[in-house]
Amino acid sequence: MSDRAALLKGIRAWLVFFVVCLVLSGATAFPLVHELRWTEDLLRALSVGDYLPGLTDWIERVRAGLDEADAEYPFLLYGTDWLAFAHLVIAVAFYGPYRDPVRNIWVVEFGMIACAGIVPLALICGPIRQIPFWWTVIDMSFGVLGVIPLYVVRQRIKRLEALTAPAATPAFSG
């Protein structure tokens, strides 16, 4: 396999990994009410509260809030539907670099900027929304971890670009 083919295969594998994670992250935003109930039941069954009472208290509080919103103000959950949709739409954008990485490197760079933006968003909005700091750190980890495959992809695209760039023609000296 040529260097170009190997790079292209690696780029595509990392992109598929990133897109799958993005889609899963988005898809899980649709059934939040049910997920929190299942999570709370699982944490109870595993006695996690004995070891991490802050986590179980937080999950219980979030579940209670979602239950109330779902029962009394279901339109509030429409915001999480849009969050999920945004994840799916962004995932579709990565088809461009999958198809033509060099030409569409900007999508990867856009994704890296979005990952970086998670950190200030979490640090600013977390306290405003009364999110525990340890949960804010978990939220920030999505940006930190998300940028890793995108960085790898960008580096490989730059190597691919160097392999496929036309050779420079010598300047005319007359």
User: What distances in angstroms separate CA 18 from CA 90, 103, 148, 173, one per listed residue?
Assistant: 11, 19, 10, 49
Per the listing, tokens 């490989």 go with 156
111-154-140 Cα angle (round to 5): 40
User: 19-49: per-residue pLDDT in tens?
Assistant: 999 999 999 999 999 999 999 999 999 999 9
- The residues spanned by each domain of the chain are 1-162
Confidence of residue 174 (pLDDT cuts 50, 70, 90): low
Task: Classify each residue of 54-66 as buried b or exposed e, where b means 16 or more C-beta atoms within 10 Å of its C-beta.
Answer: ebbeebbebbeeb
Report d(CA 72, CA 134) in Å as an integer.
Answer: 29
Determine the pLDDT at residue 170: 61
Determine the pLDDT at residue 165: 76
Report d(CA 82, CA 88) in Å as an integer.
Answer: 10
Q: Which structure tokens are listed for 15? A: 């992109």
Determine the pLDDT at residue 25: 94
Mean pLDDT, the chain, rounded, equals 94
pLDDT at 151 over 90: yes
* 2: amino acid identity, one letter: S
pTM of the predicted protein model: 0.87
Determine the pLDDT at residue 158: 97
Q: Which structure tokens are listed for 93? A: 């954008």
Cβ neighbours, 10 Å, residue 70: 14
User: 85-125: per-residue pLDDT in tens?
Assistant: 999 999 999 999 999 999 999 999 999 999 999 999 999 99
Determine the pLDDT at residue 164: 85
pLDDT at 168 over 80: no
Per the listing, tokens 């730059």 go with 158
User: 66-82: per-residue pLDDT in tens?
Assistant: 999 999 999 999 999 99
Determine the pLDDT at residue 44: 94
Spatial neighbors of 81 by CB under 8 A, at least 6 apart, are 29, 30
Rounded to an integer, the average pLDDT of 119-142 is 96
